[in-house]
């Protein structure tokens, strides 16, 4: 089981507990490492999100619709987070600043996509 121990500025301290027994020990180690990667990626992606206050794209004002769940693919596995989605008051296409700022490509982080 992996967990976040501390968050200080741009640093994250994580901890993982791995049971070193059985014939599939390497898989258990790999699973623990991937769990750490998913935790760190989720935390990093949140830094690209907005706070829900209105934003402007050019001359267009967008307001937050909802903080919605979204699952992204990372090199370590699936990462589920909540992020803001924006839209004009007339509706239509939505805009997700996190996806733009984190350079998400078709639901995947840049490294996972390549």
Question: Do the beta carbons of residue 45 and residue 79 sit within 8 Å?
Answer: yes
Instruction: Say what the pTM is.
Output: 0.88
- Compute the average pLDDT of residues 76-91: 96
Question: Do the beta carbons of residue 72 and residue 79 sit within 8 Å?
Answer: yes
Estimate to the nearest angstrom the gap between the alpha carbon of 106 and the chain centroid: 14
Query: Is the confidence at residue 114, as pLDDT, over 80?
Result: no
Q: What is the pLDDT of residues 2-54, one digit of tens each?
A: 999 999 999 999 999 999 998 999 999 999 999 999 999 999 999 999 999 99
- Compute the average pLDDT of residues 47-67: 94
Burial of 108 (0-12, 13-18, 19+ CB in 10 A): middle
Structure tokens at 111: 């490294």
């Amino acid at each position: 089981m992996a967990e976040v121990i501390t968050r200080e500025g741009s640093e994250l301290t994580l901890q993982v507990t791995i049971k070193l027994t059985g014939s599939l020990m390497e898989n258990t180690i790999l699973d623990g490492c991937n769990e750490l990667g998913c935790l760190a990626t989720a935390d990093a992606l949140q830094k690209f999100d907005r706070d829900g206050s209105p934003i402007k794209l050019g001359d267009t004002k967008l307001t937050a619709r909802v903080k919605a769940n979204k699952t992204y693919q990372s090199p370590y596995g699936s990462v589920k987070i909540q992020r803001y989605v924006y839209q004009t008051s007339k509706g239509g296409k939505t805009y997700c600043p996190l996806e733009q700022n984190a350079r998400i490509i078709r639901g995947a982080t840049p490294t996972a996509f390549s």
